[in-house]
Structure 1
Amino acid sequence: MSGSVLVALRDVSFAYEEGPPVFTGLDFEVHEGRALALLGRNGCGKTTLMRLLSGGLRPLGGRLLLSGRAVRHDRKGLTALRTTVQLVVQDPDDQLFAASVGQDVSFGPLNLGLPDAEVRARVAEALEALDITALADRPTHLLSYGQRKRTAIAGAVAMRPRVLILDEPTAGLDPDGQERLLATLDRLREGGTTVVMATHDVDLALRWADDAALLTPSGAHTGPAPQMLSRRDLLTAAGLRLPWGVAAGLLLRAHGVRTGGGAGPRTPEELAALAALPEYGDRSAG
């Protein structure tokens, strides 16, 4: 994987009080500029891993590194971490608390002690990035679910993190809402934000991610998404199925259709092109 390592866990162990170990000797890296999908069965430790990366949980053993330097879990160290790494939880209602959208998005920058003009600039930038500028004065309790999701993400974006970690960001959204959110994430990536997304959706991961991390009982297995999501052994261990694109690629190759040597099509448009179905068009032509 290319890109410098922004945040990493080294030989980390963790367990909740009076519970079994969640991780033992875990090594995990987030590389700059690489969209990373985190996948695994319920209870495998995805949420725990994200909270360890963002400083919400402290390892019982091992180290959390930020740009190669160990993070101290004190006020100064965690403040420095959270200006670089931001976590958005799955349920926006667990994150939103202010009366209006603008007030909620401004909370993080205000907590950093930034001047009012800087706070206003960050809030405006985050609202625009999430396409919710028109909602700035809207009471949060009057927002739709999708709008609440975007507001929660905007609050993290206002901190201008280098790494944005999202827990199941597309869960509960209709297809149009999912597409709009993915387009927003693409714009954030183009602006230099590295995005980590936890998801159960292997098809989404294949389509969206550069890299995929599969959490199995033997640890975290990370690599380029097309290759990792073709590993039947790891997918089975992670409680996941084969993505449709990989299965389609296997079928096409079985019928003599060349797929370029990769894992197979990652989107319906790529499948249509490989199968020579001109009625679906070629996305590269646009």
Structure 2
Amino acid sequence: MSVASPVVELVKAGFAYEDGPAVLDGIDFAVPEGRALALLGRNGSGKTTLLRLLSGGLRCGSGALRLDGEEVSYDRKGLTRLRTTVQLVVQDPDDQLFAASVGQDVSFGPMNLGLPEEEVRLRVRDALEALDIVALEDRPTHLLSYGQRKRAAIAGAVAMRPRVLIMDEPTAGLDPHGQERLLEALGRLREAGTTVVMATHDVDLALRWADEAAVLSPEGLRTGPIAELLADDALLDAARLRRPWGMAVTRLLRAHGLLASDGDAPRTAEELDAWTTAKEGRQPAPVVTE
């Protein structure tokens, strides 16, 4: 199986804020097309800085940022090329939303590209549909719930039709229902071909959602398949991350001979319930809908 070439990558990248110590040093981080990638690390580990380097919001103090194998230039042309390929959604939607209505906010990026009015309308509609907020198009942004503001901010990035969508703690502050709706929206974006990178310290969410992980610790950055990295106790300790619930369940099932070493492991409570139901030959519990 061939490894996809990275869309965007940091090569030996380092960064320090003014008059401060290095936040990142010698970081190699590649984002291959078509994957769901979780960036994991404790608060203060440098996740947000890394995301801003990837999206061009910050400039590498050392090393380089590459887009499709070419080093990014930080002039107008280079940054426009980068930002039509890579879009960052920040943690707090109120730092991103500024227009009077949802539709106006989502249209801002495409209009700035100088696109024809019909193309702008099409992009806005597609983005609102992808995030399931078409009904909110004319809603004033200050009247949105927190979860709606989150999805509106993501829609603004999606309207730029990036190949890579980067999000900083997108589920922070959402209740369980809000998290589910957001993950469903991200699933639709992935199916449409968008590569998604999510920074989080929620290891259970990462295990459930991602294909691959990048874990930031004081020793540097380690990347690999999500299940492999989150089974590494030494790495989790170094990064000050807790053990994922799904990994603990998998170890217990395998220790008791209930799950083969190469068997698909349940990663969520719902998957464990389905696995138990299948083992016992019971009928699955009925799905309750509102």
Q: CA deviation at 1:4?
A: 2.2
Q: CA deviation at 1:280?
A: 7.6
Partner Cα separation in structure 1 for residue 230 and residue 196 of structure 2 = 19
Considering only aligned residues, what root-mean-square deviation do their CA atoms show, in Å? 1.6
The aligned amino acid for 1:11 is: K
Is 2:94–2:149's contact at 8 Å kept on the other side of the alignment?
Answer: yes
Partner Cα separation in structure 2 for residue 260 and residue 137 of structure 1 = 53
Is 1:250–1:264's contact at 8 Å kept on the other side of the alignment?
Answer: no
1:154 aligns with 2:180: no
The aligned amino acid for 2:149 is: R
User: Alpha carbons of 1:281 and 1:4: their partners in 2 closer, same or farther (altered >3 Å)?
Assistant: farther
Q: Which residue of 1 aligns with 2:244?
A: 243
Q: Which residue of 2 aligns with 1:228?
A: 229
Q: Which residue of 1 aligns with 2:89?
A: 88
What TM-score do you get using the length of structure 2 for normalisation?
0.94
Is 1:245–1:267's contact at 8 Å kept on the other side of the alignment?
Answer: yes
Aligned runs of 1:62-81 on 2, under 5 Å?
62-81=63-82
User: Alpha carbons of 1:241 and 1:277: their partners in 2 closer, same or farther (altered >3 Å)?
Assistant: farther
Partner SS for 2:273: helix
Partner Cα separation in structure 1 for residue 273 and residue 241 of structure 2 = 25
Aligned runs of 1:6-155 on 2, under 5 Å?
6-155=7-156
Is 2:254–2:261's contact at 8 Å kept on the other side of the alignment?
Answer: no
Partner SS for 1:160: coil
Partner Cα separation in structure 1 for residue 283 and residue 39 of structure 2 = 31
Is 2:47–2:216's contact at 8 Å kept on the other side of the alignment?
Answer: yes
Partner Cα separation in structure 2 for residue 208 and residue 165 of structure 1 = 14
Partner Cα separation in structure 2 for residue 263 and residue 229 of structure 1 = 15
Q: CA deviation at 1:79?
A: 0.5
Q: CA deviation at 1:265?
A: 2.0
The aligned amino acid for 1:35 is: A
Q: CA deviation at 1:71?
A: 0.3
Q: Which runs of 5+ in 2 are unaligned?
A: 286-290
Partner SS for 1:221: strand
Partner Cα separation in structure 1 for residue 229 and residue 281 of structure 2 = 30
What TM-score do you get using the length of structure 1 for normalisation?
0.95
Partner Cα separation in structure 2 for residue 278 and residue 239 of structure 1 = 40
Partner Cα separation in structure 1 for residue 280 and residue 94 of structure 2 = 44
Q: CA deviation at 1:213?
A: 0.8
Partner Cα separation in structure 2 for residue 263 and residue 90 of structure 1 = 33
Partner Cα separation in structure 2 for residue 260 and residue 185 of structure 1 = 30
Q: Which residue of 1 aligns with 2:199?
A: 198
The aligned amino acid for 1:58 is: R
Q: Which runs of 5+ in 1 are unaligned?
A: none
Partner SS for 2:201: coil
Q: CA deviation at 1:148?
A: 0.3
Q: CA deviation at 1:174?
A: 1.1
Partner Cα separation in structure 2 for residue 25 and residue 195 of structure 1 = 23
Partner SS for 2:272: helix
Percentage of identical aligned residues: 70
Q: Which residue of 1 aligns with 2:288?
A: none
The 10-residue stretch of structure 1 (117-126 or 273-282) with the greater mean CA deviation from structure 2: 273-282
Partner Cα separation in structure 2 for residue 262 and residue 36 of structure 1 = 23
1:245-265 CA distance string (max 9 Å, x none): 111111111111124426832
Is 1:11–1:27's contact at 8 Å kept on the other side of the alignment?
Answer: yes
User: Alpha carbons of 1:218 and 1:274: their partners in 2 closer, same or farther (altered >3 Å)?
Assistant: same
User: Alpha carbons of 1:274 and 1:61: their partners in 2 closer, same or farther (altered >3 Å)?
Assistant: same
The aligned amino acid for 2:12 is: D
The aligned amino acid for 1:135 is: L
1:120-147 CA distance string (max 9 Å, x none): 1111110111111111111000001011
- Which of 281, 284, 290 lines up with 1:281 in the alignment? 284
